[in-house]
Structure 1
Amino acid sequence: MGPTDLSRFWEGTIEQLKKTEMRASVDESPEQCGREFKTYQVAMDSFQGRRIRAWYSVPNDPPPNGQFPAVLAVPGYGGTKPIPTHLVLNGFIVLTLYPRGQGESIKEWQLESGTKLTYHLEDKDEFYYRGAYMDCIRGLDFLGSHPEVDPQRLGMWSRSQGGGFTLATASLDSRLKVAVAEEPFLCNYPVSVDITSSPYCELR
């Protein structure tokens, strides 16, 4: 697949996502709240109709203009990620999102076989990360749908697999203004297979 075909593939994938209604549910989760912020459990429909989950954390005191900067955070390959409360305590809304089959989203759907890295590896339409990348973009859709979020100050920060998600999301969606990818996974597969035991060994 050449660069032009690759661009068309992802443009078509994003168009498919846009045709899926979000149908988000947002319910306060007292056990995840802090003294200075509230956290809500979110469930929403994403690419291919998969339902995914997230935590939506909002500081109690809004800025003068009523809109907060917001950060999308996603997990490493292990699939779990605590809410980065240090960001919330510093005035950021944070959406801690679990792409399909990971973390909280396991309650909605799990891989039928294989691993995230190998699931439908030879089928570009069904490969796990095609849908997972769209789940991240759906997270931006969710943030953009809330009036308390400043759409001009959307960022993403994560590490390992989450760093790979961050790079992919930034390349596919211009709404993301800042991207911080720590030790990004899903980069330079040939070298990674040679120098890393896990999880790239799943590709051998």
Structure 2
Amino acid sequence: MPLIDMPLKELYMYQGRNPRPADFDVYWVRAIAEMKAIDPQIELIPSDFQVPHADCFDLYFTGVSGARIYAKYIRPKHVITPHPAVVQFHGYSGSSQDWTDKLSYALLGFSVLSMDCRGQGGRSEDVGGVKGTTYRGHIIRGLNDHPDKLLYRQIYLDAAQLAGIAMEMPEVDPERVGVMGSSQGGGLTIACAALEPRIKRLAPVYPFLSDYLRVWEMDQAKDAYFELEYYFRNFDPQHVREDEIFMKLGYIDIQHLAERIQGEVLMGVGLMDTICPPSTQFATYNKLTSNKKLEIYPDFGHENLPKFNDKALQFLLGL
């Protein structure tokens, strides 16, 4: 098999390159406290899209920094309550997309929540308010400001807050909530379950937002990670601040959050992935301490992994 990264044996031993800030735990304790202090002002508005077997809602809540966050909410009819729920996260720059791809879970008796990331392709707000560039991506937004201003800090908290909102719904069993997503959605799945440890099962696929320094050293700051190159070329062309920059990115590196996860994990990875290199994904997987299983696709990259969605569904049916 051709290699674009380490041999598989080495991948299973790899522990990541991006540094972990010394105050990482304090940083996230403070962030969670900020999130929990918010009045979410939840709105549930019946959607224009409706189907016979479920009620569909536009859900809005207030996240950190006052942004209004949007999610699709599908509540199945004629099922036992409380019942399980699954929270879904989309890929980078996208949105929660159509209602139809969520209906299979509703048919099986799940409530389904699908979040639009703030400032990307959906309805959620990005209220801004950071010093420095806001061009060329969300990884670098806030990088020239206080670490609390990093945009992915806010997005990770949005994900955890939505899971908490799901758990408080009277029709949902808070002990039977799962999360899932691919690429950025996979990264948010990890972050959500780390910041909301009551999550019981999670199914991330080739997670983004892991081990930024490894991406850089592999010369893979392209495509989804292109903004790293943009940042250095425009704001630190001689890499005088390189150590500082990667240390700050460590606050939003999901590999450092992974050890907080208590739920069971089913993860998919393609070993030919040049968008989110396999080693960056293994950096996160290898730090998981809960029950976990990895589904490996040797010949696949950042694309549909055959039958993984079926495996994820069967996995989440165990909630």
Query: Which TM-score applies when normalising by structure 2?
Result: 0.59
Listed as ranges, the matches of 1:60-75 within 5 Å are: 60-63=77-80, 66-75=81-90
1:90-134 Cα shifts (integer Å, max 9, x gaps): 22111111122133334x336582221221124311111000001
Partner of 1:117: 139
Matched-pair contact (CA < 8 Å) for 2:39–2:62:
yes
Say which of 55, 58, 61 aligns to 1:41.
58
Establish whether residue 159 from structure 1 lines up as the match of residue 182 from structure 2.
yes
> Which structure would you say has the larger Rg?
2
Name the CA distance, whole Å, in 1 between partners of 2:157 and 2:203: 18
What is the SS of the residue equivalent to 2:79?
coil
CA contact (8 A) 2:82 2:173 kept: yes
Q: Which moved more, 1:7-16 or 1:165-174?
A: 165-174
State the partner residue of 1:20.
38
Q: 1:134-145, aligned counterparts within 5 Å?
A: 134-145=157-168
Aligned counterparts of 2:122 and 2:221: Cα–Cα separation in 1: 28
| Unaligned runs of at least 5 residues, structure 1 | none
SS at match of 1:152: strand
* Per-residue deviation, residues 64-108 of structure 1 (Å, max 9, x unmatched): xx11100111111022133422212222111111122133334x3
What is the CA–CA distance in structure 2 between the aligned matches of 1:62 and 1:185, rounded to whole Å?
35
Contact 2:65 2:127 in 1 (8 A): no
Is the 1:54–1:104 contact (alpha carbons within 8 Å) kept by the matching residues of 2?
Answer: no
Task: Verify the 8 A CA contact 1:159 1:181 in the aligned structure 2.
Answer: yes
C-alpha distance in 2 between matches for 1:142 and 1:2: 30
Please list every run of at least 4 consecutive aligned residues from structure 1 whose deviation after the TM superposition is greater than 6 angstroms: none
Whole-Å Cα distance in 2 between the matches of residues 164 and 77 of structure 1? 10
Are 1:93 and 2:93 an aligned pair? no
Where 1:103 maps in the other structure, the secondary structure is coil
- Is 1:172 aligned with 2:190? no
Corresponding residue for residue 187 of structure 1: 210
TM-superposed CA distance for 1:191, in Å, is 3.0
Paired positions, count: 200
1:203 to 228, 233, 238: 228
Alignment partner of 1:57 is 2:57: no
Q: Answer yes or no: is the 8 Å Cα contact 2:58–2:70 preserved in 1.
A: yes
The share of aligned pairs that are identical, in percent, is 31
Maintained 8 Å contact 1:37/1:59: yes
Aligned to 2:41, what secondary structure does the other structure show?
A: coil
For the structure 1 residues 122 and 179, does the alpha-carbon distance in structure 2 shift closer, same or farther, using more than 3 Å as the test?
farther
Shift of 1:141: 2.2
CA distance in structure 2 between the aligned counterparts of 1:132 and 1:92, rounded to whole angstroms: 24
What is the SS of the residue equivalent to 2:52?
Answer: coil
Counterpart-to-counterpart distance in 2, 1:5 and 1:110: 26
Deviations 1:22-69 (A, max 9, x none): 1011011132x2221111001110112111111110111212xx1110
Unaligned runs of 5+ in 2: 1-18, 230-319
Report the alpha carbon displacement of residue 155 of structure 1 after superposing the two structures with TM: 0.5
Give the whole-Å Cα distance in 1 for the aligned partners of 2:144 and 2:200: 33
Matched-pair contact (CA < 8 Å) for 2:96–2:122: no
Q: Normalising by structure 1, what TM-score?
A: 0.90
Query: How many Å separate the matches in 2 of 1:49 and 1:111?
Result: 10
C-alpha deviation, 1:201, in angstroms: 1.5
Look up the equivalent residue of 1:171 and give its one-letter code.
A
Distance 1:2 1:184, change over 3 A: closer
Cα RMSD for the two superposed structures: 1.9
- Residue 190 (structure 1) shift: 2.6
Alpha-carbon distance, 1:5 to partner = 1.3
Amino acid corresponding to residue 227 of structure 2 in structure 1:
E
8 A Cα contact 1:54 1:95, kept in partner: yes
